Amino acid sequence: MPRLGILGGTFNPPHLGHLVCAQEAHWQLRLDQVMLVPARIPPHKPVEDEPGAEHRLELCRRAVHGDPRFSVCDLEVGRDGPSYTVDTLEELHAQSSDTELLLIVGGDVAVGLPEWHEPDRVLSLARLAIAKRRGTSKASVQAALERLVRAEPVFFRMPRIGVSSTMVRRRVRAGLPIKYLVPDAVAGYIDQHQLYGGSAN
């Protein structure tokens, strides 16, 4: 059975950390592909410095272009209302019922999963693939997930990479270089469209 990793987020913008996470999940969990799914309206927090969902979708496409391990899904960008993971998984399952779905999240996100919209349904549609990171212990994740049915996650190692979308946006605003923090195609798109109030080059 094919195995598809689902990596959701705002990707504002996508950066080295996102791609390394996708790569490590792909390699360690023997996935056939990892799909980036940018959210249109995240239900838990607003998108800061929002350039527009279509821009974030295109940034994701630029970030993974040419790498057959990765793809980009526009389901959430094209859907009205909050971008609930359960709705996305329902659609993906309907499209490919013979594919095993693994939902890729960080340990900090996994701890909050019981507060998500329909968390038990989420876990009936996809298995959690949790990136182990400093600051959130495996024991705390497992304790949080005990409240849910079907919670049998797999864990994978994630190198510590001190890059965030917030950092990238701040550097763009300050006119600082972001080369090697994001793919060149992402930096070029940011510069071309003058996103985040500055220059990326």
Q: Give whole-number Cα distances, 155 to 2, 119, 124, 159, in Å.
A: 19, 18, 18, 13
Mean pLDDT by groups of 10 residues along the chain of 201 residues = 96 98 98 98 88 97 98 96 95 94 94 93 96 83 84 90 95 95 98 86 65
In a 10 Å sphere around its CB, with 0-12 CB exposed, 13-18 middle and 19+ buried, how is residue 73 labelled? buried
C-alpha closest to that of 59 among 183, 200, 199, 194? 183
Q: Which CATH class is domain 3-162?
A: alpha beta
Give me the pLDDT at residue 5, please.
98
pTM here is 0.94
pLDDT of residue 200: 63
Alpha carbon of 110 to those of 153, 176, 186: distances in Å? Answer: 10, 33, 28
Instruction: Determine the Cα–Cα distance for residues 173 and 170; give it in Å rounded to an integer.
Output: 5
